[in-house]
Amino acid sequence: MRKYSLGILTLILLLTLAGCGGGGTGQTEAGTVEGFVYAPDKITPIIGATVTAEGTGRTTTTDVKGAYKLTGVPVGTRKIIAVKGSYRAETTVTVTKGETIKAGQLALAPIGKIGVVKGVYDDVGQVLTALGITYEVIEEPEITFASQTALAEYAVIFFACGFEFSLFDPFLEGYEDDEIGETYKVIRANLQNFVKQGGSIYASDWASVAVDVLYPDNEKIKFLGQYGREQTITASITNPEIQSLLGKNTADINFDLPGWVVIDSVAAGVTIDLRGTVETYDGRKTNIPLMVHFPDGKGNVVYTSFHNEAQVTDDMKKILDYLVFSL
């Protein structure tokens, strides 16, 4: 019996040594990588960016200061990749066992062209320029959107408040089933496909027409119409990242002109980022969404009742900067 017990103990000892041997078999030597993710301006920190050490399974997200910390990264030369929305950056570091490597600053860049359909009231181009983002004004959207090849070059398209509505007139006037509407049905189908294939769209205020045309019959958002009165709203923030960004649960949203588009309700699958009590020409409305977003296929759509104009508050500016990188 004693010999049998000693044999078992010897076997256990050998198996233990095999698993933990001095050569390091079964162990992973690792270090830590730290850094920051910024907008292309290299000034504005990006919250919520996903940072990955390629091929290692190690990933994390940035905080409100754009900082990240990747622990347990296997030693060796590693590519560090940061992604937020349609923006990406990467760098290469050499990870040393037990050491913390400073990867420095990663400045995001768009993965495709950024297009703007200019509006009368929303200077979204000013927001993009301030963030260091180069964009292209789409001067003839009827031509650009009629070509899937042309559309595929873009990562994001911004429809600014007060853009030339004639782009969608055939749908608004009920001509989409006539011969005149054939080209415009192609435009709608191309834009719908653009989003499903990974492109993103932002529309503000009166550009709600773009959402109506691409997602008809209140498929995503039901709009009350241009019923908003001049007012300042203390909106409730329901987006955790925006809460962290502003350091509070409310945001001051100022409408210095009447007639802005009020959202009535949203469908399932549409996320509300901000909401509040609104004075409209149809009376006071409570819990009205002011900023929403939803996925469609591989892409995303963001809509805001407010935009970049003279009335912009500090809260609004930070939120507009944030949404650029959520697309």
Note the pLDDT of residue 8. 45
As a whole number, mean pLDDT of residues 18-39 equals: 69
Amino acid 166: pLDDT:
65
Q: Which domains does the chain have, with CATH numbers?
A: 30-109 (2.60.40.1120), 112-324 (3.40.50.880)
Q: What is the mean pLDDT of residues 60-76?
A: 97
- Cα 7 to Cα 2, 3, 11, 230: the distances in Å are 9, 6, 6, 88
Sequence-ordered alpha helix ranges (H) in the chain: 2-20, 124-130, 141-145, 148-151, 169-172, 182-196, 208-214, 240-246, 314-324
pLDDT of residue 162: 85
CA–CA separation, 296 and 97 (whole Å) = 43
What is the chain's mean pLDDT, rounded? 89
Pick from 251, 252, 247: nearest CA to 232: 252
Q: Has residue 28 got a pLDDT over 80?
A: no
Mean pLDDT on 8-27: 40
pLDDT digits (tens, 9 = 90+) for 100-137: 999 989 999 999 999 999 998 999 999 999 999 999 99
* pLDDT tens profile 43-53: 999 999 999 99
Over the stretch 195-252, which tens digit does the pLDDT of each residue have? 999 999 999 999 999 999 899 989 999 999 999 999 999 999 999 999 999 999 999 9
pLDDT value at residue 153 = 97
pLDDT of residue 310: 74
Is the pLDDT at 20 greater than 70? The verdict is no
pLDDT at residue 177, rounded to an integer: 57
Q: Residue 181: what pLDDT?
A: 64
Nearest to 249 by CA among 264, 232, 235, 263: 235
Report percent pLDDT > 70 for the chain: 87
pLDDT band, residue 311 (cuts 50/70/90): confident
In this structure, the dihedral spanned by the alpha carbons of residues 40, 46, 49 and 51, taken in order and rounded to 10 degrees, is: 70
Q: What is the pLDDT of residues 281-299, one digit of tens each?
A: 999 999 999 999 999 999 9
- Cβ-based burial of 173 (10 A; exposed 0-12, middle 13-18, buried ≥19): exposed
**Mean pLDDT (whole number) for 84-98:** 97
Q: How confident is the model at residue 24 (pLDDT cuts 50, 70, 90)?
A: very low
Residues 6+ apart with CB under 8 A from 227: 259, 261, 262, 280, 281, 282
pLDDT at 33 over 80: yes
